[in-house]
Structure 1
Amino acid sequence: MTPPVFSHGSLRLYLLKLLAETPRHGYEIIQALTDRFGGTYSPSAGTIYPRLAKLEEEGLVTKSSDGRKTVYSITDAGRAELAEREDELGRVESEVTDSVRRLAHEMRTDVTTAMRSLKADLASAARDARLSATRVPPVSTTPPDDRSTSRLALHEAELLLNEFRHNARTALRTHIASGRSFTTAQLAEVRTELDRAATALRDLL
């Protein structure tokens, strides 16, 4: 079982730390946490807002309206608790650092697996395209119609490409939906593999 990003009570303390730095609205808090984790973890609104509401009930934070946004600020009581738990806050910072390292390692492993799967799908699509291009047509006493044969082959090739597109799109969306990041470096690698497959396909024609 994957350990939690924050141990029990640590996120509550970390929220006070963020608000002690500057008042923030909900999205800014989520973004600050996302930045602190280098994009490897982004808390949901359902994780953050209930804890903010609890801190408000305890008198540790207060909220005010800034147009359509609700801005949260730490109170004197919140600063006092933060000061009392300064040593514990240092431990929380260490937990965050350890979590960033763990999540980054898990992400690298998952991306490596996804890229291997994508490369396998590309190789399979190229192989199927080669087989389709070299497939011997059935013997017929009727002279072959080149246009009809080409249309059938084109239709089959389009089915293969559509299937690959669907599988690749599903893999990428599942990767993002699971909360993992997709960096520009990974995008560049995907583009390189797709260009390589496109070149191989052109060489077959």
Structure 2
Amino acid sequence: MTPPVFSHGSLRLYLLKLLDEAPRHGYELIQALSERFGGTYSPSAGTIYPRLAKLEEEGLVTKASDGRKTVYRITDAGRAELRARGEELGRVESEVTDSVRRLAHEVRSDVTAAMRSLKADLASAARDARQSASRVPPVAPTQPDDRTSSRLALQEAELALNAFRHDTRASLRTHIASGGSFTSAQLADLRAELERSTEAVRRLLNP
């Protein structure tokens, strides 16, 4: 059984932390949580809004209408609770980091399993083709079906690219969640590396 992302009461405290960073409406809180988890976890509205209502009842947040949206803001009492529970908040941050790593591992495992299943299907199809060929009279050799081979190779390539994407996002989110920095210079280096990789793929396809 998969353990919960947040332990009991931790999400409530983490919502206070997010509102201490900036006022947000409900959807922005859901987005912020999804970003902290690198897209591997996104809470439902049914998870977020009851907790916001409870925080409002306790006087820890307030809400106000901004057009068609309801914006939540932390109160002085909410900030006082964050200060009083600073040690617990540190443990929640560690929980978030651990959850990101666990969820990223599960995503990688799912992608790996899918790749193994695809390879098994390919092997089975090749075996069936060999058995069928052995039951018919020999004919003149024919060229392999390049389009079929290309489609199968493309599926494997897409699985590998998805695994790379999830792994890289999880690494970045884990780094930030654990207190690391990510500067504009590092972003520029990352983009340059991705551009070099893209160019290498182009050269591979068009030697």
TM-score exceeds 0.5: yes
Query: Where do 1:1-205 residues align within 5 Å?
Result: 1-125=1-125, 136=136, 185-186=161-162
Rg larger for: 1
- How many residue pairs get aligned? The number is 148
Runs of 4+ deviating beyond 6 Å: 129-135
Equivalent residue number for residue 192 of structure 1: none
Over the matched positions of the two proteins, sequence identity in percent amounts to: 83
CA offsets per residue over residues 134-193 of structure 1, 9 Å max, x none? 8749xxxxxxxxxxxxxxxxxxxxxxx9xxxxxxxxxxxxxxxxxxxx98922899xxxx
Deviation of 1:120 after TM superposition, in Å, equals 2.7
Deviation of 1:121 after TM superposition, in Å, equals 3.0
Runs of 5+ consecutive residues of structure 2 not aligned to the other structure = 138-147, 149-157, 166-207
TM-score (norm 1): 0.62
Equivalent residue number for residue 198 of structure 1: none
RMSD: 3.0
Letter in 2 for 1:26: G
State the distance in 2 between where 1:24 and 1:184 align. 36
Residue 92 of structure 1 aligns to a residue whose secondary structure is helix
Residue 115 of structure 1 aligns to a residue whose secondary structure is helix
Runs of 5+ consecutive residues of structure 1 not aligned to the other structure = 138-160, 162-181, 190-205
Contact 2:17-2:82 at 8 Å conserved across structures: yes
CA offsets per residue over residues 13-60 of structure 1, 9 Å max, x none? 000000000011111111111111112211111111111111111111
Contact 2:111-2:159 at 8 Å conserved across structures: no
Residue 103 of structure 1 aligns to a residue whose secondary structure is helix
TM-score (norm 2): 0.61
State the distance in 1 between where 2:159 and 2:49 align. 28
Deviation of 1:124 after TM superposition, in Å, equals 4.1
